[in-house]
Amino acid sequence: MKAANFSLVNGIILILFGAWGYLSSETPSPTALIPTFIGALILATNYGMRLGKKPFKYLALVLTALVLLGLLKPLSGVIGRQDMMGVFRVAVMMATSILAIYFLVINLFGKKE
């Protein structure tokens, strides 16, 4: 799978699942929308990535790594609250981010697509 395609999927997942987490919370916090905003930024890099411009790939890689690290605290929070739907949401966002990082790293530093 091409890095741009999976980055697109990751951006969409971050937007949808981040918004879902915010809207389904009994006490929503604006920080719950951080994955949504980062997902939108990742989507904004997609056109440049499809044109083969490396700065957009590096930006997508950095944003994806930041959101992955940022999701560690929410994961521990939903596990502590035993919120299984929250665990699912955060785990899916983390899994797609890990896969997006994999494809971006392979694209940037490994074999050519």
For the entire predicted model, the pTM comes to 0.92
d(CA 64, CA 35): 10
Segments making up each domain of the chain, as ranges: 3-109
Angle, helix 84-109 to helix 72-80, in steps of 10 degrees: 160
Residue 94: CA atoms inside 13 Å, Cβ hemisphere, count?
14
d(CA 8, CA 86): 23
pLDDT score for 111: 61
Say which amino acid occupies 74: P
**Rounded mean pLDDT, 27-51:** 94
pLDDT score for 100: 96
Region of 49 (left: φ > 0; alpha: ψ -120 to 50; beta: rest) is alpha
Provide the pLDDT confidence category of residue 110 given band limits of 50, 70 and 90. confident
- What value does the mean pLDDT of the chain take? 93
The percent of residues in the chain predicted with pLDDT above 90, rounded, is: 85
